Amino acid sequence: MQQVSFQKLPPQFYLQDTVAVARQLIGKLLVHEKDGQRLSAIICETEAYTGFSDKACHAYKGKSERTEVMFESGGRAYVYLIYGMYHCLNITTREEGVPEAVLIRAAQPVEGIEQMMQLRQMKKNIKSLNKKSLLAGPGRLCDAMGITRKENGKLLTGEELYLCEGIAVPDEQIAATKRINIDYAQEAKDFLYRFVDTKSAYLSVKWRG
């Protein structure tokens, strides 16, 4: 792996077009400072959700207690629970009042791998846990990096949960595809809003071209 940059992303990064942010997040470094240890991972898979124009987005029908953070200015963590047991981390985008976000679907672990494995095992005993599957999926990523609803609403420019420049992924190595498990979203299910590093071995769904 090329040298990883720990330079934090500036606040204005998060105010860009959401689909552009989802693509640009490929190769960026996600960091969670937890219990005195730094857990970090290179993002390799994302999905954009574009508010009122996107029937797959939580905020499509307007503001609720769940989606309130999405209506704030971009650059915060939007963490929600699915199936009553799995947390999902989203990066909010755009200006205040525009409820859009990017789901972090998978990443390549960099620092704190042993602690990540312990955190995954605390949820349930996993016999075949390995580095490639450690963060391969939004629920797995949050379990391994200790991200819960406690992080919901936190600024991503702070000292606990933040994003850095990471590594450079060539444009031709990034592909746009349909998002996963949103068949209910009518025409939005066909939006090419999922971005993957096609050379990564750490995706939630293997890239087949």
Sequence ranges of the domains in the chain: 5-197
Q: Tens of pLDDT along 12-49? A: 999 999 999 999 999 999 999 998 899 999 999 999 99
DSSP H/E element including 113? helix 113-123
pLDDT at 111: 97
Residue ranges for the chain with pLDDT beneath 50: none
Q: Answer yes or no: are the C-beta atoms of 87 and 94 closer than 8 Å.
A: no
Say if pTM beats, i.e. exceeds, 0.85.
yes
Domain 5-197 grouped into CATH 3.40.50.620: no
Sequence length of the chain is 209
Residue 197 dihedral angles phi and psi, to the nearest 5°: -85, 105
Q: Answer yes or no: are the C-beta atoms of 83 and 71 closer than 8 Å.
A: no
Q: Answer yes or no: are the C-beta atoms of 25 and 102 closer than 8 Å.
A: yes
Q: Match 């490639």 to its residue by tokens.
A: 132
